[in-house]
Each structure stands twice: as C-alpha cells, then as structure tokens.
Amino acid sequence: MGALSEAEISSLDAWWRAANYLSVGQIYLLDNPLLERDLEPDDIKPRLLGHWGTTPGLNLVYTHLNRLIRERDVNAIFLAGPGHGGPAVVAQAWLEGTYSELYPRISYDKLGMLRLFCQFSFPGGIPSHAAPETPGSIHEGGELGYVLSHAYGAALDNPDLLVAAVVGDGEFETGPLAASWHSNKFLDPVHDGAVLPILHLNGYKIANPTVPARIPREELVSLLNGYGHEVLTVEGSDPHDVHQQLAEAMDTAHDRIREIQRAARDGEEWQWRPWPMILLVTPKGWTGPHEVDGKLVEGTWRSHQVPLSETRNNAAHRRQLQEWLASYVPGELFGDDGVPVESVRSLAPAGVRRMSANPHANGGLLRKPLVLPDFRDHAVEVTEPGASVHEATRVFGQYLVDVVRDNPDTFRIFGPDETASNRLDPVYAVTDKVFQGAIWDVDEHLARSGRVMEILSEHTCQGWCEGYLLTGRHGIFSCYEAFIHLVDSMLNQHAKWLKTTRGIGWRADISSLNYLLTSHVWRQDHNGLSHQDPGFIDHVVNKKAEVVRVYLPPDTNTLLSTMQHCLASTHYVNVVVSGKQPAFDWLTAEEADLHCARGVGIWDWASNDGTESGAEPDVVIAAAGDVPTLEALAAVSLLRTHLPEVKVRFVNVVDLMRLQDDTEHPHGLPHAEFDGIFTADKPVIFAYHGYPWLIHRLTYRRSNHANLHVRGYKEEGTTTTPFDMVMMNDLDRYHLVMDVIDRVPGLGQSAAAVRQLMVDTRRRARQWTRDNGEDLPEVRDWTWTGDVEPGRSPSVDTSADF
Amino acid sequence: MGALSEAEISSLDAWWRAANYLSVGQIYLLDNPLLERDLEPDDIKPRLLGHWGTTPGLNLVYTHLNRLIRERDVNAIFLAGPGHGGPAVVAQAWLEGTYSELYPRISYDKLGMLRLFCQFSFPGGIPSHAAPETPGSIHEGGELGYVLSHAYGAALDNPDLLVAAVVGDGEFETGPLAASWHSNKFLDPVHDGAVLPILHLNGYKIANPTVPARIPREELVSLLNGYGHEVLTVEGSDPHDVHQQLAEAMDTAHDRIREIQRAARDGEEWQWRPWPMILLVTPKGWTGPHEVDGKLVEGTWRSHQVPLSETRNNAAHRRQLQEWLASYVPGELFGDDGVPVESVRSLAPAGVRRMSANPHANGGLLRKPLVLPDFRDHAVEVTEPGASVHEATRVFGQYLVDVVRDNPDTFRIFGPDETASNRLDPVYAVTDKVFQGAIWDVDEHLARSGRVMEILSEHTCQGWCEGYLLTGRHGIFSCYEAFIHLVDSMLNQHAKWLKTTRGIGWRADISSLNYLLTSHVWRQDHNGLSHQDPGFIDHVVNKKAEVVRVYLPPDTNTLLSTMQHCLASTHYVNVVVSGKQPAFDWLTAEEADLHCARGVGIWDWASNDGTESGAEPDVVIAAAGDVPTLEALAAVSLLRTHLPEVKVRFVNVVDLMRLQDDTEHPHGLPHAEFDGIFTADKPVIFAYHGYPWLIHRLTYRRSNHANLHVRGYKEEGTTTTPFDMVMMNDLDRYHLVMDVIDRVPGLGQSAAAVRQLMVDTRRRARQWTRDNGEDLPEVRDWTWTGDVEPGRSPSVDTSADF
C-alpha cells in the first residue's frame, strides 16, 4: 500500500545492491572483481583505506534520487556531506556509465570494474573521498561542515535545479553546518532552485555517538523545524520497508518544493513556507558485517572505516568479506562480462540527467564570462598625485553597479553584514539584499530577490560563494580583513580543489574566488586589536602558486583596475586588500592600468634618483598597501625637505607575487628585473601592509635581500587614531625616515639632526594624540606637494623598459 | 502583581539608568561629566568611537543579575557575547567600585568618572570592547561567536558557579555559536556549574535585521527548544514592564537550574532535563535618541555605533545628546561629588560577589599548578637509536592517565571525536567521555561525568578549552593537524588576550593553551589531500613571540618531555606536532630531556664530522618533525654507505623558535650559537615537517642563510603510502641525498653515480608503490643500523658546550 510496487522496490534494491557491491569492491579488492572464485589473499589490497560506514546510506539516497529524476524528469545534482564515502559516489558514476565516458580506461565492463576497484585509495589512483576527480561532485566533503552552504550556492539562480545535500550526523555537529541551515532564509523561490537536505542519522562518528542521534527525537525535530524545515522521517533497518518509506518521502518532498515554487512564481502573496527535508535514520555500515570477532560492527562506530581489517591475512575475515560481497548477489546484477544487466542499467537516468553527468557539477562548462565595464569609465580624475581624495571601495561600488546591471543572473555579492560598512552600498541603486524573513517598513534595500547576500557567518558566505562559482557563476566576497581568518580552512579546501582540477582534463575552469578585504588592520578605529589581523595573506600564499594571487592596490584607480582583472580571471583565488576610508589618489586610470599590469613599478614622480639617466639611488623606499604607501610617500616628502641630497627611488608593489622569483610563482619577477627595480646593493626600506616577515619569505632568494628592511604590522594595536596605529608598529613616516638615515651610509651631521627631529616629532605626535584624541595636525593635513621635482607631471615607471 | 515591588523596580531602574548614563558618557564626553552645564563642543570627543546599540541591553541584564546575586547569594560571572558593548561592562565595574580598586586613577568620584569617560576608546586609554583590561571579563567579544563555548568552559568543575552569557542576535548567526548551543549535552549537573544563556533579540546587526528576529517567533522558540532549552521570554519596550518580566524570568531560570542540579546531585535517576534560557526582546539602542535628522534610530540598526555622530559641530545633535543624558536624571543617581548615591551604591553585591570582582573571571588567581608525573616514569626504554618502535601519542596517553588521576577536577582533554583515533585512549582506564545524551549498552567509555570532552566541532572544543583555562584550570586540545585551521581566528583572539594581559598587573597568569596536533600531514593514509595542511604553525608564529611556542618532537620520549614542559607552563600558546603511527625511538629519557631543554642539538651518534675534535662538516643535515627526522637519518645512512667520505653533521630541532635569533624570540638562539651548530658557511639540508619557507622566514637573518636548503610540504598529496607522500614532496631520503650531492662542492665521479642511483631508486620506489600498493620493502624494512660509527653508544649534543 505504498508508493512503490514490489517490482519497483526490487529494482531499486538491485541498483542499491550493485552500488554497495561496487563500493565494497573498491575498498577491498585487487582482483576477482566478480567473485568468480573464493577470495585469496592476493585478491585483497595490502592496505585497506576508506570509509564504509556512511557509504550504504549515500548509495541509498542516490538510488532513490535517480528514481525521482527518472519519474519526474528532475534536474538534480548530489552533494555528499560525508564525502569520505567516496566509494559510493564513484560507484554510482560508474553504474551510470559516466565514469567510463570520462575515464575510458575504467571501462564499463569487467576489466573496467577491476580497474575501478584497484585505483581506489591506491597509489597512482584516486582519493578515498569524493573529490575533484569524481564525476558529478562539486564538494569534497573531506572537511565536514560545508555541504548545505555549497548546496544553496549551487541552487541560486538555477530555478530549475534540485540540489540534494546529504548531511552527515557528525557533520551536523560542526559550526559551519549549524549556521548554514538558515540559508533557506536567503533562497528566493522565484528565481532560485531548491535544496533538499537529507540528514542521515546513522548514529555515530569515528568513535562516538552523534549528538543529534542521542537527544530526544522530538528535540531534534523541533530543532529542524526551528531551522525552517518540514521534517519527513524515514527510519528503519529493513531495506524493503525503508525503500518504501524513502520513495514516499522523496515524492512528498518534491511535491512540497514544487508547491512552494509554484506559489511564489504565480505571485501569490508572500508568506514564509518551511521547506521539506528528509531525516533518514538507518544503521551505520548497513548491510556490512554485523559482528566481527565477536563485536558488534553494523550499526556502530566500528563500521566507520574498514569493518574487516585483516582480510588479507585472516582467513575468517576473508570469508566474512566473501559472504558480505556475495550477499549483494552480484550474479544477478552484472553479466559475466562485468556489464550491469539491462534491468539495472535501465535505472540510470539519461544523459545529463545522470547526476554524475549534470553540467552544473562541472560549472566551467556552463560559465560565461562576465560582462564587465571598462574600469576607466568609473575611474576618478587625478590631476596630480595626492591632489584628491576618494573612498576606494565606494568608487568600486559604483563599478559594481554596472556589473550587477549587466549580469543580472550570474553575479552575486556575498558578505557578513558589511556590504554597506565596506562602502559597496552604491549597488543598492540597482539591486537589493535578498531575505526571506519578515521585511518591515523601516528596512532599507531588503527584498525577496536581490544580488547581495548577507548573513553574519563568514563560513556561510564563503560556502555560498564557492557553490555559486563551482556551478559556473561569478561572485565577490567582501569581508573585514581580520575575520576572513574564519574561513582559512575553507580556503584550504577550495585552493586544493582548484589545484587538483587543473590536472583533470574534463573539468572546465571556473571563475576565480575573489576576496575584497577591507576595514583592514590600519583602520579599525571603532574596534581595535581584536579586529586587526593582516595574516590571511600569509595563509593564502602557502597554497599552490598556480592558484593564488594577492593584490594591494594603493589607491582608488588601482583598486578598480585590479578588480576588473580579478573579475575576468578564472581558477584563481584572488585576495585584494583595500581600505574603505577617504584616501589620496595617486594614479590616473591610465597609470593605474599600466601599474597593475606590471604589478610593481618605480614611481618616478616620487623619486629623485635620476632613474631616467640610469643613475642609482642611495636608497629605495618601497610600499605595498594603501596606508604604507601614504606613509612611505610622506617619508619621501620629509627626506626631500630635510635631506634633499639623499637620492630616493620610490617603488610601489600592487601584485605581491611579483616579489617572488619566476621559478616560484608565475607572476614572479626574474632576478634581473627585480634587481633593476630594487637595485642589487642599495638599502631598501619596505613599508608593508601586513606581517613584515612575509616580505622576507618572498624575497629571500633576491641578491639584495640582506639590504631589505621591512616595516609592517607587528601585532600592536588598540582603538586609537590612524596615525597612532602606524606609530605603534613603527610603520609611520618619521620612523621610515629614521630607517633611511640608519641605513644609508655616509650621511653626515645634518642627518643625525634630522633623525633627532624625527624622534622628537614622534614623541610630540604621541603626546598630541593622547591629549587631543586626534592625530597631529601636520599629519592630518599633510598633502603630497609634488615638491620633489616641481613642475613634473606624474608618470609611472616610464624608465623601466625591461 | 509581579515579583517586584514598585520600590524594587524603581531601584533597579536607577542602577540601570546610572549604568546607561555612564555608558553614554564614555562614548561622548571629554568634560562636564555630571552635566552641570549645557554641553559645549569642547565637552565632546573629537572622534566618537564605540557601540551604543547593544549597550542598554547588556546593562539591563547585568542589573538584573545583580538583583539575583544579592537576593540569593549567587556566585556568578557575566560574559558579554556582544563584547563591542564595552561601555556597559566598564560602567558596571565602575558602579560596583571594582574599577577604582584596580585602577586607582579612575577613582570613585567625579574626577574618576571624568577619567572613565575620557579614557574610553581614546588614545592611551582603553579599547572600545570588553577586553582584558575590563574587570570581570574573560571574553573579548570582538569576534563574535564564542560566548557560549567560553561560558560552558568556565562552568565546568565549578559546581557552584552560574555563568550568565548574553548572546547577541547577530552573533546568533555565526557558525561557532550555532554549534555551541549543544554544549549543554556535555555539562554534568552534578560536578559542573550552570550556564544561563540570554539571547538578546534587539533585532539588528550593523546594517541588517537579524535572522532570529525575523523568522516566525514560534520557529525561533522551536529552534531553542531543539537546542535543549526551556525558553523564558521577556519582551517589551516599557522599562517598568520589562523590569518586572525580567526579574521573574531570572528567578524562574534560577529555580529551574537549582532543581536540575538538586535532582542530579541527589542521585535521582538520570533523565535529560532542558536547561532554562532567557529570550530577551528589547529595542536596539533602547533609551537612546529615538529619531535623528528625521530618521528612526532607536530600535533600528542606525543605533549600532554612535547614534548622534556630529555632536561636536552640530548644535542640534549636541542638544539631543544633552537631552539623552539628562533623561537618565543623573542628579538622582550621583552626588555633586560624582559618587553614586547610597540608594544606588547599595545595589551592588558585596566583595567577590560583584561580577566585576569575581575571581573566576581572573582565573590565574585560582589556578593551582598541575600535579605532573615525571615523564621519565613513562619513558620508553631505548637501548640504541632506532632499535625500537612506539606510537608516541599512545605512550603520552599513558602519561595522561597519571595527570587525570592526580588532578581529578582541574584538568580536561578536549577534542573533536579524535581522542581514540589520536591514540590517547589509554586515559579511558581512569576516566570517561562526558555525555548527557542517551547512553546505550554498546557505547564505550561514555558516562555522565568524565574528563574527556568530544564534539565534532573544533570551534566548540577550542571555546570550552579557553573558557576552562581562563577560569584557572588546565587542559589539552588534541586535533587533526589540518583541521586546527578551523580555529585560526579563535587562536588569534586568545593570543591577543594573552599578549595584552601580560601588561595588566592585576591579571594573574593562566595555564598555557596546549595543542597536540597529530594525524599530521605525512600520515593521512585514509584521507589524503583534504586532510593535509601543516600551516597552523605558520599562522601561530605570526602572533607575538612572547606568547607562542612550537615544538616538533622527533620521537616518543621527546614528546613526553615536551608535553610535561607545556603542561607546567603558563600564559603561552604551545603547539606540539607529533605523529600517532608506530615510529622509531631515537633518544633515551635522559637524552630527550636534555635535547628538549636545549631545543636544538647535534646528534653526534648520527654525525661523522668529528664534531668532538672541532672539525667542520662538509654538510649539515637538519630535521624538524618526526617524519623528516626519519627521512634525514635514512639519508645519513645512505650517505654513510655510498659516500662515506662526506662528513655529515646531523642536527635535530625540537623547539622551532630556536631558529630565530634571540632579539626576535625569547627562545631564539644567539647568532654565535646558531653558527656553532649550523656552521657559518657549509651547506645545510633541512628536512622540515611543514611548508619549507617558514624555515627561511625564521632564519633569514642567519649568516649562513644563503646555504640553507629546505625540503618540506609543498601541497602535494593524496591517499597513498607514507613513502610516496614524502617522495611527492621531495622530502624523501633519496632526494635529500641528491640535495647533499648537489650542494657539497668537490665531490667526484662516484658522487655522480650515487646521485643517479638515488634517481633510479626513487623511480623504482614509485613504480613499486603503484604496482603493489605498498612502500618499497627496503624502505619499509629500513632500520638505523648504527653503522655510522659502530660501537658508539648514542649521545646527544655532548660537544656543544657553548
């Protein structure tokens, strides 16, 4: 009396058994793939590496999704939260034929099956987890917690798509997952697709029961209702019964989703409608060995990895493995040639309806380049350096207006409640923040649809963004610089994904992950020390050079140029750090364009070293970052005033990876070019945005490294004035002048006097600040006077013609 | 008809008004603290920096907690999740008198009040947030999400303590907070204290409504019920009414807590009893300006920071500020001398019952050193180097048995479901994992009480551990190396806390935060690339040198010695990385003790450079980390066999900070000592556990830096064999030999042949692995033969007598 006839149950069960058989085979077998003879020790892998516990559950869900897809022509993809159940998703892709299409060596026959088994978790083979190598996957699952945010990211702007997301009950305990349930408050049922969460309560983690499995069931359901879900429970350990329950739950869930979408798309009056989800309660390691060596395994944590661990050397274990494999009755499922029998094969959806072949899970295939305005159309006018002031991110916000307008359904802005604080609010002229909670009259820019997504969870923002990019779209994540560390570990996983996919021919490149980090370390006026940390750059540069890029635009036009470049790029992680406070403009649009293309350059309008004539400076003052550039230029000014005889070359670095050499990073400068800019033997005073040692780490192979002296953030800060902040870290103009005097040889008595003046001025500045709560007037009112070489028009790098 | 009489409401309201007055004064005033005349521009701070929105709510909760404390003699501390409401907690500490006791300059009178106002968020003053400087605080709150895990950590093993934790509704959206609600499943009502969460629904974040404020109220309550809480709702915007409601809710909550504790402590049969919590719904920026410049401010996001932003220059704003301040009727609250009037003063609890003076919030005061066994009693016997094999962390687990036994209520082990996986399970001989969910017969080592706390949330583990340490106890956090990055940002905050408290005289030192990172990058056999990241070390060393220590013990006895040192230490972050797999023992207990004390040393039993006679080697082979030490020693062995004429010095580094110089880090080696070990001019081949450039970053000032060649993890990995992993990253013994040959000058033809042999062996090793799924037998079976100088007994560093 259920949704399914006995024949339907039987065929679903056959597919499930086939997938489980193929999963166990992957974990254990080196030979004898069809169990044509008794298992011998040599049939077994010498090292058994993989995770069985979650696998039968993943296979069950996948199997039932296929039924739904076939019966209702659903466009679906599958995300395995417990991605360590790699054998399941690989088995499904092979059963569906996709695996052999993408990897012809792993053919759709007995030899291919053998190779499928052998390659799993084997040197030279494939990883034990769902991975970039896995057809149909956009989600590694190695690090738990991101399946729902990835799923919602994938569903955005894909109104036709159903994203099935299995949440493991271990993963359920993680913070990022816990927060991401609320993603449904940001899903627009009109323009977005649907996410179907399936919480798989198999009861155990590696060594413990899970929290959701052991709290009162009514509390768990209450919690899930509280997350905004209608809960459809499927529970049991009898396959026949569970098939029936799960098919009904899938049908009901899909009906509910369609009804929510219909109501919204028909324009019915808005109301919050809880989305369906499935709570699937089945034993861990289901259908595997029930007991091993007298201990319960099925249904416990002992089935988490490899239930029978000694199958090569222990005959009893081997016999148990054989019985286990035979319990799936492979003879009914595969022909003698290893090809799945027709009755099994016919259960696979067709073509791109196979979840393993759905192009949404290989988003680069669907990706279209962004329509980008020319940044010059938004550039600020710069008549001369330092003559005007802009908030760089606000101007970039105006650039984003065009991007949003011209890419109405492929571009999103993600951020933790900081889009306006980060000055990107000009975009609200053309779009809103999407929200499915109550909207009140007092609210601004809040709507049921919109391109801006804000939740106070960096994890959720990052997950949404990744899911959106991985399915072929574009986005930007703007965040306070200090708190982007919250997603360090997510960045790791995404960078590894990008790195690995570069080696996989059938994976098409996706859009870069673009971070705009603002509200940075030097301007945390309201918040102080807890909000000061420029170390995300350090974290990112540990990732593979092929995938990471770091930019520190010194002003508004360079920010625009940088962002245009990043938004057009593919398959990188781009980290851009830029202030949001009013700051001087240094470069015209044309100069910014050239400077950003070169990544590093001599600003000869700020230099007096006669670079054009091939002369060498006494000192190089270099800067990377907007605040360091300001202080470094002010130092240049001070030197020009007080020690005009010192020949200074001013260098600005916008692309940090230029500092490495070209064997270390694709953007690296060859040594000759580096020496051409930084000299081979002159002191270099380097004012850097972040932790100073990063500059040493990037340049230690340079011939002039011993002369490099870096100032940056050394973990000193509080709520104080902007200039007090740079003074606390010795990055201020006065200290930079002292550094020059200390390092340029042969300066005379007058230099000593100037040095003392600097010391005194710093003391005065500190006292003034403590007395008045403001910066010294001569600092606040400082402007670049162009007095270095009066009358010269600004130009960039004109002499650097290497 | 409520809990309170009108007189009681009136006095509560007076305290609340006083606190709010002092809060507004801190944000705005430079003078005229008692509003004795109309406000002038010069009375106003030039830069207005702080957060008003959350402040009146924090003040309200604090005020009512004080009533509870007075009436019931409750031992309570206060954690402000929205710690940006610094003005509130500072105001309360001043009102209670604690502030003046700790900071006599900020006296309990008019002058002190003025100084209290002036110092807030002012250069040379105090931060805008709750901070280490704030009496009664163990929680910064600058980075949101950790208040509940900190609160639970504080409550553990303090059966008498009530930890009141205000959760902001913005913070509510973060992942770490969302996960930490389940902490109540790990709180033992018999031996632990209680946490009272107060979710303050003031409706808005910086620029948006909050999710919990805009979902249907019944969904929110369902969610909180699902988290295992009984919800007591207090809602309103009329102070009189809200005082009445909140007092009743506090009484009820406290009754419920006492009843849960009584039932448990009386030994009634266990059942899950939901803990009370308060849902407090009041306007953001309550009692502040209702409208400013025609826009609604009170009750909206516009009150988040400074509601009146132009009070210095805009007379209308200034008038509004004056009205705002006057609305609290300061003349009723403070005498002409600025001292709070007796009727207000008398509302403060007495002595250490004041939450600002409770010693639990200055845990170092309560801390007693751990009773630690001598690690030698647990050391493994080492007859000669490489002759025996142990799992280092398992032996350390046996050491922990003693620690747990001898410190029954001041030591805990925290970890994300990995205590057994990380081989610390010997502790289950003397304790259990604490859990308040259902416990089944099949479960092992699970109980209602226990010293081990496991939840699959690194954030929650870290928060618990921090809360436990900050209140004066001891702990260890054991975690997979890769996923400790999840808490990068939490580590930042804790390290900043430690750094800042070093400068605060009244704060007593707390126990170090000890990380044991295992299941490390080189042995992720089951999981592969997603589980490989040694970059936490890089992250940690960006923090202040005074507070961070990094150890890489090469074997079992060095791990024991290191951990004993770390467990006894105070006020550091100690990061210890150690494998859990069977690995060779190199040092006896005595040698380990000496080696760890020195942090770096020459192993002369592995050297053939004649160090004793003062001779110089041809090459230094150095290693840091257990796997690199193995490969480096194997390389030494190969060289000895194939190129015995090369004089090799073997150096092992256990304390990574020794590599820096002594001006950079307290553990840094002076240059002369460094040169004595690493030579001034010989090639150094350094086999390092993590990202290789960290070694360059630490040593770039060393005179021999140009000759330093580092091998480490370069982000290459998958599920493969241990030796294939080191080969993928060129850290293997064969490659190290090639590195030596490439760098030692003057080696002849035979060296070229050896080099080719190494190349061929690597090729063979790779092929063997791919064919057999195992490592080359000669690698698997390799042992240190002691053939370098046969007959010599092992000794450490005997020659280094500088």
CA distances from B370 to A71, A191, A467, A770, A785 (A): 65, 60, 47, 43, 63
Residues in chain B closer than 8 A to A291 (CB atoms): none
The pLDDT confidence band at residue B120, using thresholds 50, 70 and 90, is: very high
Q: Tell me the shortest Cα–Cα distance from B440 to chain A, in angstroms.
A: 9
| pLDDT of amino acid A609 | 87
Pairing mode, if any, of strands B295-296 and B291-292? antiparallel
| pLDDT of amino acid B527 | 85
pTM for the structure as a whole:
0.96
Give the separation between CA A458 and CA A486, rounded to whole angstroms.
7
A208 touching B (Cβ < 8 Å): yes
Q: Tell me the shortest Cα–Cα distance from B9 to chain A, in angstroms.
A: 32
Annotated domain spans of chain B: 6-17+52-95+128-311+341-352, 375-582, 602-780
Among the listed ranges A100-104, A265-269, A717-721, B24-28, which one has the minimum average pLDDT value?
Answer: A717-721
Residues in chain A closer than 8 A to B435 (CB atoms): 208-209, 214
Q: Do B492 and A485 touch (CB under 8 A)?
A: yes
The token pair that represents B407 in the structure block:
């410190």
**Chain A from 556 to 575: CB within 8 A of any B CB:** none
CATH architecture of B602-780: 3-Layer(aba) Sandwich (3.40)
| pLDDT of amino acid B340 | 98
Q: Which residue of B has its CA nearest to A721?
A: B123
Among B555, B563, B595, residue whose Cα is nearest residue B388: B555
The per-residue pLDDT of chain A, averaged, comes to 95
| pLDDT of amino acid A612 | 64
Q: What is the pLDDT of residues B403-427, one digit of tens each?
A: 999 999 999 999 999 999 999 999 9
Note whether A419 and A433 are within 8 A (CB). Answer: yes
Q: Is the pLDDT of residue A327 over 60?
A: yes
Q: Is the pLDDT of residue A591 over 70?
A: yes
| pLDDT of amino acid A801 | 31
| pLDDT of amino acid B141 | 82
Q: Tell me the shortest Cα–Cα distance from B601 to chain A, in angstroms.
A: 25
Give the separation between CA A221 and CA B148, rounded to whole angstroms.
23
Q: Which residue of A has its CA nearest to B169?
A: A456
Q: Which helix (H) or strand (E) holds B110?
A: helix B110-119
- Residue A411 pairs in a beta bridge with A474
Q: Is the pLDDT of residue B793 over 70?
A: no
Give the separation between CA A564 and CA A377, rounded to whole angstroms.
12
The answer for residues whose C-beta is within 8 angstroms of residue A220's C-beta and 6 or more apart is A212, A279, B226
Note whether A247 and A4 are within 8 A (CB). Answer: yes
The pLDDT confidence band at residue A785, using thresholds 50, 70 and 90, is: confident
Question: What is the number of residues in chain A?
Answer: 802
Q: Does domain B375-582 have CATH number 3.30.70.270?
A: no
The pLDDT confidence band at residue A578, using thresholds 50, 70 and 90, is: very high
The token pair that represents A676 in the structure block:
């051409």
Q: Tell me the shortest Cα–Cα distance from A64 to chain B, in angstroms.
A: 27
Q: Which CATH class is domain B6-17+52-95+128-311+341-352?
A: alpha beta
| pLDDT of amino acid A440 | 97
Q: Does domain A6-359 have CATH number 2.30.38.10?
A: no
Among A712, A649, A721, A660, residue whose Cα is nearest residue A684: A649
The pLDDT confidence band at residue A140, using thresholds 50, 70 and 90, is: confident
> Which of A123, A208, A221 is nearest residue B720 as measured by Cβ atoms?
A123
**Chain A from 101 to 160: CB within 8 A of any B CB:** 121-124, 127-129, 131, 140-145
Give the separation between CA A94 and CA A117, rounded to whole angstroms.
11
Q: Which helix (H) or strand (E) holds B563?
A: helix B556-568
Q: At what angle do helices B6-28 and B315-327 cross, to 10 degrees?
A: 150
B180 touching A (Cβ < 8 Å): yes
For B486, which DSSP code? G
Mutate to test the interface with B, among A115, A208, A496, A532 (most CBs of B within 10 A): A208
Note whether B410 and B457 are within 8 A (CB). Answer: no
Q: Do A720 and B123 touch (CB under 8 A)?
A: yes
Establish whether domains A6-359 and A388-582 are of one fold.
yes
Q: Do B123 and A525 touch (CB under 8 A)?
A: no
Q: Is A746 helix (H, G, I), strand (E, B) or coil?
A: coil
- Residue B710 pairs in a beta bridge with B686
Question: Which phi and psi (to 5°) does residue A688 adopt?
Answer: -120, 145
B41 touching A (Cβ < 8 Å): no
Note whether A616 and A679 are within 8 A (CB). Answer: yes
Q: Which residue of B has its CA nearest to A444?
A: B208
CATH annotation of A620-780: 3.40.50.920
The token pair that represents A793 in the structure block:
């028009």
The answer for residues whose C-beta is within 8 angstroms of residue A669's C-beta and 6 or more apart is A600, A658, A659, A660, A661, A662, A677
**What is the per-residue burial (b if ≥16 Cβ within 10 Å, else e) of A407-429?**
beebbbbbbbbbbbbbbbbbbbe
Q: Which CATH class is domain A388-582?
A: alpha beta
* Torsion sign (Cα): A342, A347, A351, A355: negative
> Which of A182, A225, A438 is nearest residue B222 as measured by Cβ atoms?
A225
| pLDDT of amino acid A3 | 79
**Chain B from 215 to 254: CB within 8 A of any A CB:** 215-216, 219-228
| pLDDT of amino acid B611 | 66
Beta-carbon-side half-sphere exposure of residue B563 (alpha carbons within 13 Å): 34
Among B89, B18, B16, residue whose Cα is nearest residue B50: B89
| pLDDT of amino acid B410 | 98
> Which of B206, B435, B539 is nearest residue A535 as measured by Cβ atoms?
B539
B778 CB-contact burial (10 Å; exposed 0-12 / middle 13-18 / buried 19+): exposed
Mean pLDDT of B34-54: 96
* Torsion sign (Cα): B716, B721, B722, B723: negative
Give the gyration radius of chain B's Cα atoms: 30
- Residue B209 pairs in a beta bridge with B204
B205 touching A (Cβ < 8 Å): yes
The pLDDT confidence band at residue A526, using thresholds 50, 70 and 90, is: confident
Query: What does the angle CA A457 – CA A463 – CA A464 come to, to the nearest 5 degrees?
Result: 90
Give the separation between CA A721 and CA B766, rounded to whole angstroms.
59
What is the count of residue pairs from A and B with beta carbons less than 8 Å apart? 365
The pLDDT confidence band at residue B612, using thresholds 50, 70 and 90, is: low
A310 CB-contact burial (10 Å; exposed 0-12 / middle 13-18 / buried 19+): middle
| pLDDT of amino acid B613 | 67
Q: Do A696 and B696 touch (CB under 8 A)?
A: yes
For A669, which DSSP code? P
Give the separation between CA A423 and CA A399, rounded to whole angstroms.
12
Q: Do B127 and A718 touch (CB under 8 A)?
A: yes
Q: What is the pLDDT of residues B85-113, one digit of tens each?
A: 999 999 999 999 999 999 999 999 999 99
The per-residue pLDDT of chain B, averaged, comes to 95
Say which residue the tokens 């149909």 belong to: A136
Give the separation between CA B188 and CA B181, rounded to whole angstroms.
15
Note whether A659 and A695 are within 8 A (CB). Answer: yes
**What is the per-residue burial (b if ≥16 Cβ within 10 Å, else e) of A528-547?**
bbbbbbbbbbbbbbbbbbeb
For A308, which DSSP code? S
Mean pLDDT of A780-790: 73
Q: Is A75 helix (H, G, I), strand (E, B) or coil?
A: strand
Q: Do B770 and A124 touch (CB under 8 A)?
A: yes
Q: Is the pLDDT of residue A651 over 50?
A: yes
| pLDDT of amino acid A527 | 85
Residues in chain A closer than 8 A to B525 (CB atoms): 47, 49
Q: Is the pLDDT of residue B209 over 80?
A: yes
The answer for residues whose C-beta is within 8 angstroms of residue B787's C-beta and 6 or more apart is B637, B640, B641
| pLDDT of amino acid A613 | 67
Mean pLDDT of B625-638: 97
Q: What is the pLDDT of residues B541-581, one digit of tens each?
A: 999 889 999 999 999 999 999 999 999 999 999 999 999 99
Mean pLDDT of A422-435: 97
Give the separation between CA A466 and CA A190, rounded to whole angstroms.
22
Note whether A797 and A649 are within 8 A (CB). Answer: no
Note whether A740 and A621 are within 8 A (CB). Answer: yes
Q: Is A469 helix (H, G, I), strand (E, B) or coil?
A: helix
- Sheet of A600-602, strands arranged across: A600-602, A648-653, A619-624, A684-688, A708-711
Give the separation between CA B98 and CA B358, rounded to whole angstroms.
10
Q: What is the pLDDT of residues B375-384, one digit of tens each?
A: 999 999 999 9
Give the separation between CA B276 and CA B619, rounded to whole angstroms.
67
Say which residue the tokens 């109550």 belong to: A438
Q: Is the pLDDT of residue B645 over 90?
A: yes
Among B676, B684, B678, residue whose Cα is nearest residue B744: B684
Mean pLDDT of B180-192: 98
Q: Do B47 and A525 touch (CB under 8 A)?
A: yes
Among the listed ranges A564-568, A662-666, A774-778, which one has the minimum average pLDDT value?
Answer: A662-666
**Chain A from 581 to 640: CB within 8 A of any B CB:** none
> Which of B181, B496, B531 is nearest residue A529 as measured by Cβ atoms?
B496
Residues in chain A closer than 8 A to B543 (CB atoms): 715
The token pair that represents B640 in the structure block:
């000895």
Query: What does the angle CA A462 – CA A466 – CA A469 come to, to the nearest 5 degrees?
Result: 140
Alpha helix segments (H runs only) across B266-376: 315-327, 330-333, 342-345
The pLDDT confidence band at residue B673, using thresholds 50, 70 and 90, is: very high
Number of other residues whose CB lies within 10 A of the CB of residue B395:
22
Alpha helix segments (H runs only) across B234-338: 239-265, 315-327, 330-333
Mean pLDDT of A428-456: 97
- Residue A120 pairs in a beta bridge with A126
* Torsion sign (Cα): A31, A34, A36, A38: positive
> Which of A296, A418, A492 is nearest residue B485 as measured by Cβ atoms?
A492
The token pair that represents B715 in the structure block:
């982000």
Give the separation between CA A119 and CA B771, rounded to whole angstroms.
11
Residues in chain B closer than 8 A to A122 (CB atoms): 719-720, 770, 773
Beta-carbon-side half-sphere exposure of residue A676 (alpha carbons within 13 Å): 15
Mean pLDDT of A756-769: 97
For B792, which DSSP code? P
Q: Is B13 helix (H, G, I), strand (E, B) or coil?
A: helix
Give the separation between CA B660 and CA B695, rounded to whole angstroms.
9
The token pair that represents B40 in the structure block:
């002038």
Mean pLDDT of B5-26: 97
Q: Is the pLDDT of residue B789 over 50?
A: no
